[in-house]
Structure 1
Amino acid sequence: MNAPASAAAPRTFLLLGGGGFIGTNLAARLERGGHRVLLTGHGTRGASNGRWVDLPLTDTDGIMALIADHAIDTVVQLASSMLPSSTEAHYQAEQDAIIAPTRRLAARLADRGVRLVFFSSGGTVYGATSRDYATEDDPCAPIGFYGQAKLETELHLQFLARTRGLRLLTLRPSNPYGMHQSLTGAQGLVSVILGKLRDGGALEVWGDGTVVRDYIYIDDCVESVAALLVNDVAGTTLNIGSGIGHSLLEVVATVEEALGARVPLLFRPARPVDVPRLVLDVERLKGLGMYHHRSLIDGVRDYARRLGICR
């Protein structure tokens, strides 16, 4: 095993779509480890010391020139225009804006020997599994367009790894929550609950609240990912999660306990894109010694404290 993230020699990483929730936190973690981070995509959040580069994902030549200019050996693909609830129209737009450009870029990265780290979706690619825990080797049968788009990209990148020698690491995160996630968005249950407590109003619950998911604090998520990046892990697919399941109602109760406040609930009909249970098996990540996890209530308390939403 190579040196841990905090002790690794400084490197430069390129985060495509780095202005989003995960990218912002990952860039900050890498910078704390002494690394330089270049960011592309929508928005301008990024890490405070990161350098923002105005390059669309469709500009393959521009990205490759950036890689050459900065001696980048690892590209992290976080870009996506979809949500788990996205429709077929969003899926069709994703084909042109994200999937096809990612394929073109991956082929060029293979030729140059640059590692590609692709962020897929552990919460959607597996579909309605009958197992208690979804392992990386389980068959994938997504039931929504978001998961289907991620799986299609995974399969093509695996094809390039087999046929062109692409150095590929595929990551399947569960349901991360934490700083820089929208409190009023269409995803991120913990953040949405905290937003309701901050602003008032009821939480919409689709179904009866018994759906079970795997939640991971974003600080733990990016700690694992940073270690994978600096230790040059490739040639595998990894679940990134807590390995612990919580129902929606259990999450609500945990937030209520942490903050000493009640969350009004407004029940809606169940949605077809919501599988009853999805918890990730994280034994492969544990085997690498790169698993990080704190309890849901500890993560919620820390998140709420940093937001200034306290008892």
Structure 2
Amino acid sequence: MIGIFGASGFIGRNLIDHFNQREIPFRAFVRRQGLQLANMAIIDFDDPATYRHHFEGLSAAVLLISASVPATFANDLVSEVDRNVIPHVKFLQSMRGSSIQHVVYLSSGGTIYGVPQQPKISEEHPTVPISTYGCGKLMVENAIRTLSVAEGWSYSILRASNPIGKYQSPEKGQGVVAAAVRAAFLGAPIDIWGNGQALRDYIDVRDLCAAIDTVLKPKGQKGAIYNVGSGRSLSVNEVIDLCAYACGRPIRRNYVPEKSFLVKDVELNCDAITRDTGWKADFDISGAIQDFVWDYRKKIQAAS
């Protein structure tokens, strides 16, 4: 039985769909009411007393909970540590003596490496994050590696690129695609940091869910760190062009000074996870954007 912690989020809801389609048994853990599932529990991720008793029967835990996106706390490292790092450490320590033998942690391929020192970033690239978000992710990674040695459980850390897909929330600042599509339907401009030429690696969330599933299986390396991306980078301007095409509407752009914590021109080398597990991205990014627009249009129609 697999525990999905952060099941009500964008990626969590897609992972539930993935597991249901493949009849993979799971329990869903959320921080607030929203999903209606028979095997769901509401927990406070900052308080182990609310979830420790749920560990019984779990063989693995997928950690998708995050209290921030890259720009949330800007340069406030104290908030990042309080809201994200410490709760994860509490969780990992509370696993002591439980049935959980494997942890999958969703890290960040776009922020954890810092300024790229090579055209395509492999897992051996130095980790020198320039944002508090990336710094927090690296702290949690190190906690996982350290505590796994003493406690004897294994782990898989996935440094994912920018996911796109169903359930993504434009209102929560979940990526440029969600923001661009919302701007298109509102007829409002979208703020773009810098000149829009910064390159990013994007991935269909269904491919990301498949990667999570893959590292939970015996063929995955236990104690591995993998980049997970499409292997292809697009500029922000190119992505907004694809969004405008999918929406059938123009998107006005408001270029603003770029932030100091912005990491530009990130393209991930994902050869390691393909070599070790056979996983590779199957879905086209333009198709992922079109699927997102279709889903967003349905939400608008349902609300009207």
From 155, 160, 164, the counterpart of 2:142: 155
Post-superposition offset of 1:231: 4.1
Q: Partner of 2:27 in structure 1?
A: 38
The answer to whether the 8 Å contact 2:111/2:133 transfers is yes
Unaligned runs of 5+ in 1: 1-11
| Number of matched pairs | 295
Partner SS for 1:81: coil
**2:138 aligned counterpart, secondary structure:** helix
Higher mean C-alpha deviation, range 225-234 or range 285-294: 225-234
Instruction: After superposing the two structures, state which structure 1 stretch, 216-225 or 91-100, moved more.
Output: 91-100
C-alpha contact (below 8 Å) 2:80/2:132 kept by paired residues: no
What is the deviation of 1:254?
2.0
Q: CA deviation at 1:131?
A: 1.1
CA distance in 1, matches of 2:50, 2:32: 19
Verify the 8 A CA contact 1:110 1:165 in the aligned structure 2: no
Letter in 2 for 1:38: R
Does the alignment pair 1:82 with 2:71? no
Give the secondary-structure state (helix, strand or coil) at the position aligned to 2:171: coil
2:245 aligned residue: 257
Alignment correspondent of 1:8: none
1:300 to 277, 289, 299: 289
Distance in 1 between residues matched to 2:130 and 2:235, nearest whole Å:
20
- Asked if the contact 2:194–2:257 (Cα under 8 Å) also holds between the matched residues in 1, the reply is yes
Q: Is the 8 A contact 1:38 1:52 kept in 2?
A: yes
Q: How far 1:174 sits from its partner (Å)?
A: 0.7
Contact 1:206 1:269 in 2 (8 A): yes
2:302 aligns with none
Task: State the partner residue of 2:3.
Answer: 14
For 1:296, the aligned partner's letter is: I
1:193 paired residue among 163, 169, 180:
180
Whole-Å separation in 2 of the counterparts to 1:192 and 1:88: 19
Between stretches 169-178 and 29-38, larger displacement belongs to: 29-38
Pair 1:58 & 2:35 matched: no
Partner Cα distance (2:3, 2:38) in 1 = 10
1:106 aligned to which of 81, 87, 92: 92
Identity of matched residues, %: 24
Q: When the two structures are superposed, what TM-score results if normalisation uses the length of structure 2? A: 0.89
C-alpha distance in 1, partners of 2:270/2:96? 28
| Counterpart amino acid of residue 253 in structure 2 | L
Matched, 1:121 2:143: no
* Equivalent residue in structure 2 for 1:282, among 247, 270, 274: 270
Partner of 1:95: 81
Match of residue 6 from structure 1: none
Alignment of 1:267 with 2:266, yes or no, is no
* Contact 1:185–1:192 under 8 Å retained in 2: no
Question: Deviations along 1:138-195, whole A, 9 cap, x unmatched?
Answer: 1101111111011011112111223332311111111001111112332311111111
Query: Separation in 2 of the partners of 1:177 and 1:247?
Result: 15
Q: Is the 8 A contact 1:106 1:166 kept in 2?
A: no
Q: 1:61, 1:44 → 2: CA distance?
A: 18
Q: SS of 1:214's equivalent?
A: strand
Please state whether the residue corresponding to 1:53 is helix, strand or coil: strand
Q: Is the 8 A contact 1:172 1:238 kept in 2?
A: yes
Deviates more, 1:260-269 or 1:54-63: 54-63
TM-score calculated relative to the size of structure 1: 0.87
Q: CA deviation at 1:64?
A: 2.9
Contact 1:86 1:145 in 2 (8 A): no
**Structure 2 CA distance for partners of 1:186 and 1:307, relative to 1, 3 Å:** closer
Q: Which amino acid aligns with 1:128?
A: V
Deviations for 1:76-127, whole angstroms, at most 9, x for unmatched residues?
A: 1111112201336754234334322322332343544521111111111011
Partner of 1:4: none
Aligned residue identity for 2:294: R
How far the C-alpha of 1:307 sits from its partner, in A, is: 2.9
Q: Provide the C-alpha distance between the structure 2 equivalents of 1:122 and 1:59, rounded to a whole number of angstroms.
A: 28
For residues 177 and 83 of structure 1, the distance between their equivalents in structure 2, rounded to whole angstroms, comes to 14
What do residues 39-68 of structure 1 show as CA deviations (whole Å, max 9, x unaligned)?
22333344x546321221233244332111
Amino acid paired to 2:187: G
Q: CA RMSD in A?
A: 2.1
Q: Structure 2 residue aligned with 1:25, among 14, 17, 21?
A: 14
Tell me the secondary structure at the aligned position of residue 198 of structure 1. Answer: helix
